Structure 1
Amino acid sequence: MTATPRPPLRALTLLAALFSALLLSAPALAIAPFVLDQGNITDKVGALGDRRDDVQAAIDRLQSDAEVGFYVVYVDSFGNLQPDEWANTTAVESGLGTDDLLLAIATEDRRYTWSVEEDFPLDDEKLNEVAKKAIEPELARDEWAQATINAADGYRAVAAGEPVPDSSGNDSRLLTGLLCLAAAVAVAIAGFLWWRTLRSPKEKDSESEGTPVAELEGRADTLLVETDDALRTSELELAFAQSEFGEAATADFAATVEGARTDLADAFRVRQQLDDERPETESEQRDLLTRIIDRLNAANSRLDADAEQFDRLRDLGRRAPEGLERLRGMQTEVTAALPGVDETLSQLRESYPETAIGPVAEAADDARDRMLFVGAHLDAAHEAIADGRSGEAAVELRACEEALSQGQQLVNSVVRRSQELRRAEHDLPEVVDRVDREISAASEDEADDERLRAAVASARQSMEEIRSQTAAGEYDPIALTLKAEQTAEALAEQTERLRDEEENARRAHDQLRQALDSAVAAIGAAEDYVATHRGAVGPRARTRLNEAKAALAHAQHDGASEPVASLKAATRAGRLASEAADLAERDVQAYRDPLDQRVPGPMGNSSNAGAILGGILLGGMLGGGGRGGGRSPGWGQPSHRPGPGSFGGVGTRGRRGGGGRF
């Protein structure tokens, strides 16, 4: 009997390739960046099989011997994002810190990447050596678990100054693979047919519908906060660079920041649209949230693209000694101003209720807290310079720059609040008289108009409340001025249709200056508060503040040509700014509540608490993550102290990485 000939290896290989291509025609499941909440290992594709414990053991050895937190993620695909962008965003959103490393592997894309913070203890040369010698060879053979085990052992070796263990393959692996090839092809055929035929139409539709609205909204809100913080830090660093090198040398960076500012403003505008009274359908919500995320990604991409070049320009590490001297001088100036702030606050409390002082009530204490932080970290920078640790000195100085800026802003906020309260107190009688005249004029036409009668009655009641508060003694003149202006605007909505265009324009022109002054005061107070407490301020307060600024800009730009529209915009700006301040204060109060479990535990020293609240040290108060620093995910305590932000966007600022194809 003639033996049946075995299929040649070439034919087997060709057959496998054909069916592999068939399987790969199904789209890989792209997963958006996400918060790592499953410990060190996140396996979305079942790559580890029964070797998960082996991988965890290798990770534990690395943690024990080198004090490196190692996190590995297996997904099908990074989607439309570049691997480094995907990994950096995941690391940032998860709050991975200076001693943590993320290895991300996309099994279907055949790509991998690693991501660490700028101050991670291993340099790029060592990390790349581990990647080439220990990780890539195993990934090329689809040995997913072994690749991670080798990575952990490789990092442990280079941290100890030893060579990376050899990861050369064994020929037996090829033989084993050939013996299993025919069975694998059969399984592939069956699996592909099952996948194509058993999926329900509903499952197919859900794929096309995209991410659930609630998940999109959460991602959009987190990205709004993080991008707003990134832009604020970038603006501050740009201001320092402009003072050092001049506007000509920093013009390109200024243009980048302006472009990111426009993108962010567009995102906030869409967020406000979602927050307004008109309800959107689920499809409309998804479209609007996607637009927000797209605009924020554009803003971050702009900033990230220039981050490395900006760091080279400033070169804080090389110029650390002169930077230290400059910041010591700023520290002296802010500290010297604090007794005057105490005196001003004391005078304000003698004249006004606490509600009038509210936005700046704790400004002196907060400024002292920032100066305590500055003192400690300038000393740390001095020690780092003396020891030749220029990179560490740069990080300390960057944190001090923002703390000093906030300290000065807190001092200025008290001075400005005092001036605005005095001015509002002086102008309030005139505002009240003007609104009373508007009510009297409107009452002449109210007999034949039911809506106007109701508006006049409401306006009279509102003004009576204002007069009652002023007669009682202590009152908030800024709040009462805003109330009077909003009363006048509500009345004007009914009287404008009864008057000619010229009369309406004249009335609006007479009221516009005071409305603009009130809006500027309200926005200034809200901006100071958000900027110096942004570590705890959420998306709603920031959205209202951004919309208030946009309304004010419109009122100021079109005041002469369109006084009626400008008056409406100015009044709206003041109202939105007040809402922003209220929302921000609630956010901060919730954070400061000792029962609030979001408060980070170990923060190094007491001065760091205020620095995290101010967003100087990035510590994940809103969702457990922040750029360039933050808390470890919820399963454990931080293994590092939070770090400061720097010029750049959310995804890549302050991080480095590598990787490639396999």
Structure 2
Amino acid sequence: MGHAVLGGVAGVVWLVLPVMTSVAQDPVPPTGGGTVAAAPADGVDEAEGASAADYVLPLVAVAAAGVLGGYGYVRRTRRARSRTTPGIISPLPPAPSPVDLERQAGASLVLADDCVRTSREALGHVDADEAVVRALRAAETELSAAFAIWQRYEEGVPEDPAGRRQALVGVVGRCAEAGRQLDAQAAAFDTGWDTGDALTAAEDRFRELAARAGGVQNALAGARARYGPGAVDAVQGYVEQAKDRLVFATGRLNQARQKTDSGDGDGYRRELCAAEGAVAQARVLLGAVTRLVEEVRTAAELVPAALTGAEAELAGLRGTALPVRLAQADVVLAAVRAELTGGPYDPLDALRRVVRAVEGTGGGRTGVIAAGAGLVARSALRAADDFVGVHRGAVGPQARALLAKAGAAAPADADRLARRARELAGRDVRAHGNPFAGQAAHESGLAGVVLGGVLLGEEEDGGPVVAFGGPDTRGRWG
């Protein structure tokens, strides 16, 4: 601004300079040899002739004062505009309320968890660069930290309002960093994905799962007949959902083949990515059924030995200061033993009750009881994780946070937390519904992949497909 003022003064001087020059350089013509005085011209006296020079400096001073006054006005205006005093300018937008910030943190958790899950599935389809793998691991670490902060917040820690607000800000920041890690490697993932024959590999996986579905359904029916419906309720409908995913994959694989034949690279990526997501979820669904059938069978073999071990441990505690606890445990063990001879029963549930009967008595840390505790905890964790993964289009932050906490807990706590997470996730799915639940959407498999988060569900055709990446890149293929 100082340069502008100097420029203004210089301009005024430049304007009046001719006047000053003409006055200063108007010589009196000499006469021959003598000293002469200047003569007034045409009746103009000497005072009037000098008036032009007399006014030059005052004119410059007035002009400079005007320029400086303008400069001061501009500075005062700018200072007023930048001032933060209320009433001078419009106030800043209000800070989000605790409810709004909590909602934002929950949405950030869901989005980051979806991105990590999708990216992890996608890595199973390519020979990824090490940097891509490291990005996923870093994102998983950030997400775990965000879930831990959220869980403490849900438990009331910290207690002061400022600390709780800062905790939610931390959740949002951690989730943003997880997404940034994945976004940064999305292009590298695409490079590795494009170099291989991903379409042929996806078609091979599709055929393998399609052939496997019938055997999985038969195994499920056998377990239901032998142990009762309650033993396999956790995977009820999974085979049918897997078939729906495969129906969807059929159409997308055919479209991908047509796109690659026509040279439509973007279309090829979009269709193949959608097919890969559906095939991956079909694998999860069928795998969950197969695993549960095996876990039920293993639990059935373990229950008699667990009963004997629990009874032996409790016998060693007779006469201690736990008479009420021991009496309760005796009732539980007697009920389980009666079930063994009373017809079909749920072996996993029976094993869980045996393990819990010993809890709090100081026993069950080793041997068959510890093995039973590990089995039921792993089963609950896997069941909850599978359910969230194939219904992530509807599952909210509470269920996901409990599941994350369960993964780091001791077996007894992990079992309880995972079962509660599964319960909350099921409630979210029921409350969410499915806008793509019509007959056509069901027959094409569209309803399932939208609920499973393979497509974002933003349009009538299911919307963009979800690919490897964070929030900024996961929908890049449309």
Q: 2:394 corresponds to which letter in structure 1?
A: A
Q: CA deviation at 1:468?
A: 4.8
**Superposed, which structure 2 residues align to 1:191-590 within 5 Å?**
194-195=87-88, 210-242=95-127, 250-276=129-155, 280-315=159-194, 322-446=197-321, 452-492=322-362, 508-510=365-367, 511-551=369-409, 569-590=410-431
Aligned-partner Cα distance in 1 for 2:248–2:75: 61
- State the alpha-carbon separation in 2 of the partners of residues 420 and 307 from structure 1: 37
Partners in 1 of 2:354 and 2:387 — Cα distance? 24
Contact 2:125/2:198 (8 A) holds in 1: no
Aligned with residue 81 of structure 2, among 12, 23, 36? 23
Give the Å deviation of 1:17: 6.0
Quote the offset at 1:655 in angstroms: 4.8
Distance 1:570 1:193, change over 3 A: closer
1:307 shift after superposition: 1.6
Which residue of the partner structure matches residue 645 of structure 1? Answer: 466
Whether the 8 Å contact between 1:370 and 1:403 is mirrored in structure 2 is yes
Measured in 1, the distance between the counterparts of 2:437 and 2:286 equals 29
How far did residue 328 of structure 1 move? 1.8
Deviation readout 1:232-259 (Å, 9 max, x if unpaired) = 11112222222xx6xxxx1111111111
Give the alignment of 1:648-659 within 5 angstroms: 648-655=469-476
Contact between 2:399 and 2:421, CA under 8 Å: does it hold in 1? yes
Q: Secondary structure at the match of 1:518?
A: helix
Shift of the 603–392 alpha-carbon distance from structure 1 to 2, 3 Å rule, reads farther
Secondary structure of the corresponding residue to residue 433 of structure 1: helix
Structure 1 partner of 2:32: none
Q: Deviations over 1:28-52 (max 9, x none)?
A: xxxxxxxxxxxxxxxxxxxxxxxxx
Aligned residues: 413
Shift of 1:19: 2.1
Q: Residue 611 of structure 1 corresponds to which residue in structure 2? A: 449
SS in 2 for 1:194: coil
Equivalent-residue separation in structure 2 for 1:464 and 1:348 (angstroms):
25
Q: TM-score, normalised by structure 2?
A: 0.77
Q: Which string of whole-angstrom CA distances, capped at 9 and with x for unpartnered residues, describes residues 534-575 of structure 1? A: 222222222222122222xxxxxxxxxxxxxxxxx1221222
**Larger relative contact order, structure 1 or 2 (CA cutoff 8 Å, min sep 6):** 1
Letter in 2 for 1:577: A
How much does 1:327 deviate?
1.8
SS at structure 1 position matched to 2:345: coil
User: Conserved in 2, the CA contact under 8 Å of 1:603 and 1:642?
Assistant: no
Does the 8 A contact of 1:604 with 1:641 survive in 2?
A: no
TM-score under structure 1 normalisation?
A: 0.57
Q: 1:486 to 1:291 in 2, by over 3 A?
A: farther
Q: One-letter code of the match for 2:420? A: E
- For structure 1, the 5+ residue unaligned runs are 27-191, 447-451, 493-503, 552-568, 593-597, 620-630, 632-637, 657-662
Residue 295 of structure 1 and its aligned partner are, at CA, apart by 1.5
- TM-aligned CA distance change 1:388 to 1:278, over 3 Å: closer
CA distance in 2, matches of 1:297, 1:237: 20
CA distance in 1, matches of 2:437, 2:225: 38
For 1:461 and 1:280, the matched residues in 2 are separated by: 42
1:399/1:456 CA distance change after superposition, 3 Å: same
- 1-side partners of 2:474 and 2:440: how far apart? 23
Mark the CA change 1:11 to 1:524 in structure 2 (over 3 Å): closer, same or farther.
same
**Cα–Cα, structure 1 residues 550 and 338, in superposed 2: closer, same or farther, change >3 Å?**
same
Contact 1:227 1:300 in 2 (8 A): yes
Structure 2 SS opposite 1:618: coil
**Which one has a larger percent strand, Structure 1 or Structure 2?**
1
Q: Is the 8 A contact 1:366 1:410 kept in 2?
A: yes
Q: CA deviation at 1:600?
A: 4.9
Aligned twin of 1:599? 435
1:373–1:13 Cα change, 3 Å: farther
Say if 1:642 and 1:423 are closer, same or farther in 2 by CA, change over 3 A: same
Question: For the structure 1 residues 463 and 292, does the alpha-carbon distance in structure 2 shift closer, same or farther, using more than 3 Å as the test?
Answer: farther
CA distance in 2, matches of 1:10, 1:335: 85
Offset of 1:400 from its aligned partner? 0.9
Larger Rg: 2
Deviation at 1:23? Answer: 2.0
Q: What code does the residue aligned with 2:283 have?
A: Q
* Contact 2:373–2:412 (8 Å) recurs in 1: yes
Determine which structure has the larger helix proportion and give its number: 2
SS in 2 for 1:216: helix
Q: CA deviation at 1:608?
A: 0.9
C-alpha deviations, 1:72-106, integer Å up to 9, x for none?
xxxxxxxxxxxxxxxxxxxxxxxxxxxxxxxxxxx
